Chain A
Amino acid sequence: MLDIPLPVLLGQVTIGLVNGCFYAMLSLGLAVIFGLLNVINFSHGAVYMLGAFAAYLGSRWLGINYWIALFIVPVVVGAFGMLVERLLLRRLTGLDHLYSLLLTFGLALVLEGIFLDIYGSAGQSYNGPPQLDGLVDLGFMRLPLYRVWVVAVSLAVCVGIWLLIERTSLGAYLRAGTENARLVQALGINVPLMITLTYGLGVGLAALAGVLAAPIYQVQPLMGSNLLIIAFAVVVIGGLGSTLGAILTGLGLGIIEGLSKVFYPEISSTTVFIIMALVLLVRPAGLFGREA
């Protein structure tokens, strides 16, 4: 264990941090959606893929560059999410939440199926912005500038969303709606609209993560499929419905996963799940969750 050089260790931690940013953004969206809608959004991974493909197709067909895609794609995909909420998910309110889980599962199959049908399972490469080409010398490793940018953007977005929820009046309505939607509705707040916007926000976040991921990972139809399950595990570890829990757990798990690649590579893909099992044994409600 001691013969591992420090640069290698720090290098893996940095790579883990980049992965952790994606975990955090996806889990945050899942947690926000779960908090207000009580929906386990199984199409979250597919929506992340949709974001990456939207960026890729936008640049190929319409010549939209990365910077514009970064703003437009989350809005467009988020609007698609709102449509899904209005037309489909809303019909299932009041029913057991297993049904909404299964609906979004079906939606994920359809979305991934469509892209698989057209593009196959091979990855498409998407070039990041030329302004962010190049490497940053961190002393222990040279990190692509783009990854530094990804970490910065996702941290900023996560903190921004957290402040929005915890520190603004809109966020207060949202938290109140999570506690007791009927009471908030009775106070004259348009809860159905809030639900639609929240779902749109969560989906938009996933799409943003997709755009950010497009230049790093290959853009391919099943890119969100396994990531989704990790995001679920993150949400369970952090505690369902806890925004701060989702962010911190996401980042932390990314780093721990990176470390496990140094010490015992065989276990790295299962680390997240092992931690989940351990956390559940000790704290069944998750690290930041309240016991129901």
Chain B
Amino acid sequence: MRQSTLLLLVLGIAALLAPLTGLYTLFLLKCVAFALFAAAFNFFTGNVGLLSIGHAAFFGMGAYAAGHVAKEWGVPTELTLVISLGVGAGLGIIIGGMAIRRQGIYFAMITLAMAQMIYFFCVQAPFTGAEDGLQRIPRGTLFGTLSLADDMTLYALVVVVALAAIWGLQRVMEAPFGHVLLAIRDNEARAISLGYDVKAYKLSAFVLSASVAGLAGGLKAITLGLASLPDVHWTMSGTVILMCLLGGLGTSLGPIVGAIIVITLESKLASMGAIQIGPLAVDFSTKVPIVIGLIFMSCVLLFRKGVVGELISAFERLRPRGRTERPLVRAS
């Protein structure tokens, strides 16, 4: 069975079972939107080996675009999502076209700075609602008939869209295009000498990743009814990096697992009251950034392969004749 089919099956079953756990549907919706965002980020950074610190721009602008067209123009939901995908793609062409000219650290810093430019644009632009953001974004109707006001109907739509996108990204990696990407990551000089237009491949991958990130932003805006400045801020780019790193950068399931862990942790910590630890009462609800930062540091120092990556290597150690492991991020 193809890995993409397997992934689709696993995620499909998980998405079907999730509502049975009794978790809030809104929480699940948030998990799905961020899982898609993490998968989009991983598609580029995990497979091309260049770190983007600018993906919040695509996510946030996707969310703003979706919020604006849904709220102000009453655009049907399916078109709203297409628009957020398009916004992500358009921005991806601009930022990617600029950043792809450079390698390694330069690439990371250019994406970061360009995304910050988008952030300042959003702070001042009239349609973003500044500090308040866009609130109470309507969920709208699907194909003009089916109302999405019901949580479960919306959940079904979001899951179908997200799974289709995640499957699509995985399928692209199995196609010749994806193999060329891996070849570029592992040995760019050789890929060039084989006649591949390396820049065009990198840019296509970046734009694809950016458009799916935009779509994820659109899903987030529709499901939570909110698009605001934190969505575009560079800390959001950091969060998505953390999700992928924690779950396993470069693996197909890792980013999704990582996203679910981070979202769960954030919401659990935020809702947790003061906890008695020895003589001290510690209130964790105000300490989310500290905990996230500590996890980040321990991920980098102790398990760089992430949860899924570590599991895969443990599995392969049991099977001595398994595939050789490939580096998650290209060594310089």
Contacts and interface: CB of A to CB of B under 8 A. Distances in A.
A281 B94 CA distance: 12
A265 B99 CA distance: 27
A80 interface: no
Interface stretch (A3-11, A47-55, A93-101, A137-145): A93-101
Question: For A34, A226, A266, A273, which residue has the most chain B Cβ atoms within 10 angstroms?
Answer: A273
Given A97-B105, A109-B289, A269-B123, A277 B300 contact: no
Interface in A249-280: 266, 269-270, 272-274, 276-277, 280
A103 B290 contact: no
Interface residues of B, number: 44
A240 B241 contact: no
B224 interface: no
Interface stretch (A110-118, A146-154, A169-177, A190-198): A110-118
A270 B114 CA distance: 9
A273 B110 CA distance: 9
A277 B331 contact: no
Contacts of A269: 120, 123-124
Contacts of B104: 97
Given A96-B331, A269-B120, A269-B124, A110 B300 contact: no
B289 A113 contact: yes
Nearest to A274: B117
Contact of B301 (A91, A109, A266): A91
Contact of B117 (A92, A107, A112, A273): A273
A101 B234 contact: no
Given A96-B329, A102-B241, A240 B105 contact: yes
Given A273-B117, A281-B98, A229 B290 contact: no
Interface string B125-166: 000000000000000000000000000000000000000000
A263 to B, nearest CB: 16
B124 A240 contact: no
A276 B330 CA distance: 27
B109 A235 contact: yes
A162 interface: no
Nearest to B288: A113
Nearest to A108: B293
B272 interface: no
Majority SS of interface residues in chain B?
Answer: helix
A229 B286 contact: no
A131 B152 CA distance: 67
A232 interface: yes
B301 A270 contact: no
B330 A280 contact: no
Contact of A107 (B105, B293, B330, B331): B293
Contacts of A102: 241, 245, 296, 299-300
A243 to B, nearest CB: 17
A226 B234 CA distance: 9
24 contacts: A40-B109, A88-B297, A95-B304, A96-B329, A96-B330, A97-B104, A97-B332, A101-B108, A102-B241, A106-B297, A110-B289, A113-B287, A116-B289, A232-B109, A232-B113, A235-B109, A240-B106, A266-B124, A269-B120, A270-B117, A270-B121, A272-B113, A277-B114, A277-B117
Interface of A: 34, 40, 88, 91-92, 95-99, 101-103, 105-114, 116-117, 225-226, 229, 232-233, 235-236, 240, 266, 269-270, 272-274, 276-277, 280-281, 284
Given A106-B292, A111-B293, 14 more contacts: A40-B108, A92-B300, A95-B304, A98-B329, A102-B241, A103-B300, A106-B299, A116-B289, A117-B286, A232-B113, A236-B110, A269-B124, A277-B98, A284-B101
